[in-house]
Amino acid sequence: MAQIGIVIVIGAIAISMIVALYMYTQYQTNFITAKTGEPVVIGPVEYTITFDGTHKGNKETTPTDTFVKIRIIAKNISEEKTRISGGQFYLIDEKQQKHQPVYGGFSTEDLLDDWLEPNKPAMWTTQFDVPYDETKQYNIVIRPSKQQASVDTALICITNC
């Protein structure tokens, strides 16, 4: 009788370990690396990110250091519209420090929050306030929105790759 109980306990432990391993692999982040100008698919959106230069802001918004500007071309490859926002992007400098985008209405292309229609590409820009050095490497990280429900994350090198 005790042997049957031990077999049941060992079986339950084995099954729970198998289920845990399956769940871990299903929700493990999938990192995709690319270089500037290469398309990358994150969830239902295909992104192409390019370095668009630096600038010193405008009359209302000036940077602490320098604004590094990127151009975002996004195409919704699904059949339903999806949300895109500037908060999905951040810049990683050579010291592995994370920089959030800065919104200042610098142009009509400045990304804050928008909807992507199915199969219609759209183009925006956003910028990050960083101590810019043209000899260093900078990367953009793209994370999917909650609505896109994807485990993919992209790391795109934009300078000195």
* 140-161 pLDDT, tens digit each: 999 998 888 888 999 999 999 9
The pLDDT tens digits for 83-139 are 999 999 999 999 999 999 998 788 889 998 999 999 999 999 999 999 999 999 999
> What is the pLDDT, as a whole number, of residue 107?
85
How far apart CA 49 and CA 39 sit, in angstroms, is 8
Domains of the chain: 32-159 (2.60.40.1240)
Amino acid at 99: H
Q: Is the pTM of this model over 0.75?
A: yes
Query: With 90 as the cut, is the pLDDT of residue 3 above it?
Result: no
Predicted pLDDT of residue 78: 94
3-state secondary structure of 11: helix
143: nearest Cα among 75, 71, 96, 85? 85
Nearest to 74 by CA among 88, 55, 60: 88
Each residue's pLDDT tens digit, 40-92: 999 999 999 999 999 998 888 899 999 999 999 999 999 999 999 999 999 99
Would you state the pLDDT for residue 24?
A: 85
Distance from C-alpha of 100 to C-alpha of 90, rounded to nearest angstrom: 5
Are residues 158 and 70 in contact, defined by beta-carbon separation less than 8 angstroms?
Answer: yes
